[in-house]
Amino acid sequence: MKKILIVLIAIMAIQTACTKLDTVIYDKVLPSDYVADPVLKMSPIYAPMREFLDNGCWWFAQELTADAMCPPTRANDWDDGGKWRILHTHEWNNETETVNSMWSRYYNGAVEANKFIEEMEAYDPAPEILQGIAKGKILRAYYYYLLIDNYKDVPYVTTYLNSPTNPFRNYRADIFNALVKEVEDNAILLPLTITTKTGVTKGMAYSLLAKLYINAEVYTGTPQWAKAEQACDSVIGLGAYDLETLPLKPFVTDNAASNENIFIIPYNENTYKGFNLHMRTLHYNSNLTFDMTVGPWNGFAAMEAFYNSYEDSDLRKASFLVGQQYASTGEEIIDVGADNTKLVFTPHIPALQMDAATYTLPEIRMSGVRAVKFEVKMGASDNLSNQFPLFRYADILLMKAECQIRQGGNGDDLINLFRARAGVPNMSGATLDDLLAERGREMFYEGHRRQDLIRFGKFNNAWWEKAVSSPDRNTFPTPKWAIDANPNLASDPVAISK
């Protein structure tokens, strides 16, 4: 099955020529099978999300291109041909690993959703079958939302067995309209249940709708703040979610039951691996702090200006490791590789590229505070069992506050929910800049920063070790391999076929 899917993607540049292979592509999903275990039967649609935090995929494109996290080259470590550094400096091209990885995984999900939907539509429209189709369509809409957010104009194909051989790209605005209609039409068929945060529920669907509407001006040129606020209200009105009492409670190990998380990737260190961001940020010797079974790789760090945007009393500052580091036994950690210097993380990073001829070993190996927003449990391995929230209730409330401000209202009450929880003074008369800064502090490390900066018109600004970039950097180019397989992807976009 995996081999066939790869062939489909490579030859068709997503969803082409599948009619030639349809005799052995997949086993039938019977209605009884779906009702008995819907999550299992839909698991191929969810599968691409597993790699969102690995293989240079979604998380890297959203965080390393923005103004909070950075990927320093530490002497001979983390150069990797510059693939991380060019994300920070906005110098990627259509052969960059992250550009390639996202496209493949998003379309993998869309292909699997199309396949599942067509399979289920072949049966009598019993209520449970209609609900299954609705879930499949919402998941397909989620992948296409990621595609238009990251790539702008892309092929929008909603068939499987009769897909076009070499689809053209479609206009982003047209796809936006189609996605909004699909989500609105199908959300009413979904369950409210929050017993699992991995499935498609009303909360998940309305969260997706809020994301589409709040970015409508970016996607179509026309803002739709009132509709974005209505979508947020649809989530709030469910009464199914609430803020945790402590700001880092949604990110602890085994956090699936948190009332704040709406839609998650269910990572597990043994059975559903892929959450290894702690390996990419912690120092080689941080294993001594957490009694880890492996040594981390000493890479990504928070930028100094972003770290300093937190007030000293902000409880969210516990998201970072800074200062002298200690073993679990209480002893100071010594970095033998830095001439037996004490391991001390400093907010200041001297340069994006630190070579041994210019910088000291402590600067190279220790500079930059490290991210531990997601709890690293004692005895952790190279994969965490924390669930990663793709949609979180905190985001819904902050989006509603943004919509209020953009419509001439006041978002203080909502913003101050987070400031009170974090133990910092309330805001009064919060501006959009205040809101963006608060979103940065609250949503740090969760894959939202690139999109937020674009929506607020700040993604192309200069920041540490990054010059002003051009507006074409707001999206990524279609991968070269996809254009090589389907030359139509290099042509101008066309309207969606009716």
481 and 394, same structural domain? no
Q: Is the residue at 455 inside a domain? A: yes
Same domain, 18 and 159: yes
Does 376 fall in a domain? no
At residue 68, the pLDDT reads 98
CB atoms within 10 A of CB 237: 11
In the chain, the amino acid numbered 387 is: Q
- Quote the number of domains for the chain: 3
In a domain, residue 365? The reply is yes
Q: Do the domain assignments include residue 412?
A: yes
* 339, 371, 403 - which closes a domain: 371
Among 337, 371, 405, the domain-final residue is 371
Which of the residues in the chain have pLDDT under 50? 1-26
**279-to-202, 218, 273 alpha-carbon distances in Å:** 34, 34, 13
Q: Tell whether 152 and 39 lie within a shared domain.
A: yes
- Asked if residue 245 lies in contact with residue 421, where contact means CB atoms within 8 angstroms, the answer is yes
Q: Is 385 exposed, middle or buried (0-12, 13-18, 19+ CB in 10 A)?
A: buried
Helix, strand, coil share of the chain (percent; to 5): 45, 10, 45
321 assigned to some structural domain:
yes
340, 435: one domain? no
What's the CATH number where 422 sits?
A: 1.25.40.10
Phi, psi at residue 404, to the nearest 5°?
-60, -45
Q: How many CB atoms are closer than 10 A to CB 428? A: 10
301 beta partners: 70
Q: Is the four-CA dihedral 59, 61, 66, 69 of positive or negative sign? A: positive
Q: For residues 145 and 167, give the distance between their C-alpha atoms in angstroms, rounded to a whole number.
A: 18
Other residues' Cβ atoms within 10 Å of the Cβ of residue 66: 26
Do both 261 and 286 map to the same domain? no
Mean confidence (pLDDT) of the chain: 93
161 plus 291 within the same structural domain = no
Residue 453 and residue 433 in contact, taking contact as beta carbons nearer than 8 Å: no
Same domain, 45 and 144: yes
292 lies in the same domain as 220 = no
Which single residue is written with the structure tokens 């070790």? 465
Coil, strand or helix at 120: helix
The DSSP result for 421-464, as a single string, is HHT-PPPSS--HHHHHHHHHHHHTTSS-HHHHHHHTT-TTS-BT
Full DSSP string of 147-172: HHHHHSSB-----STT--SSPPPB-H
pTM for the full model? 0.94
Please give the residue range of the domain that contains residue 307: 277-371
* Structural domain includes residue 252: yes
Q: Are residues 198 and 227 in the same domain?
A: yes
Structure tokens, 121? 């539509």
Assess if residue 385 is contained within a domain.
no
Question: In terms of domains, do 163 and 61 share one?
Answer: yes
- pLDDT for residue 196: 73
The residue out of 371, 403, 431 marking a domain boundary is 371
Q: Number of C-alpha atoms within 13 angstroms, CB side, residue 44?
A: 17
Output the pLDDT for position 18. Answer: 33
Please indicate, yes or no, if residue 225 is contained in any of the structural domains. Answer: yes
Evaluate the CA torsion angle 20, 25, 31, 32 in order and state its sign: positive
Pairing of strands 370-371, 320-321: antiparallel
Give the span between the Cα atoms of 142 and 121, in whole angstroms. 20
Same structural domain, 147 and 62: yes
Q: What backbone torsions phi and psi does residue 390 show, to the nearest 5 degrees?
A: -80, -35
- Residue 89: give its domain's CATH number: 1.25.40
Assess whether 31 and 109 both reside in one domain: yes
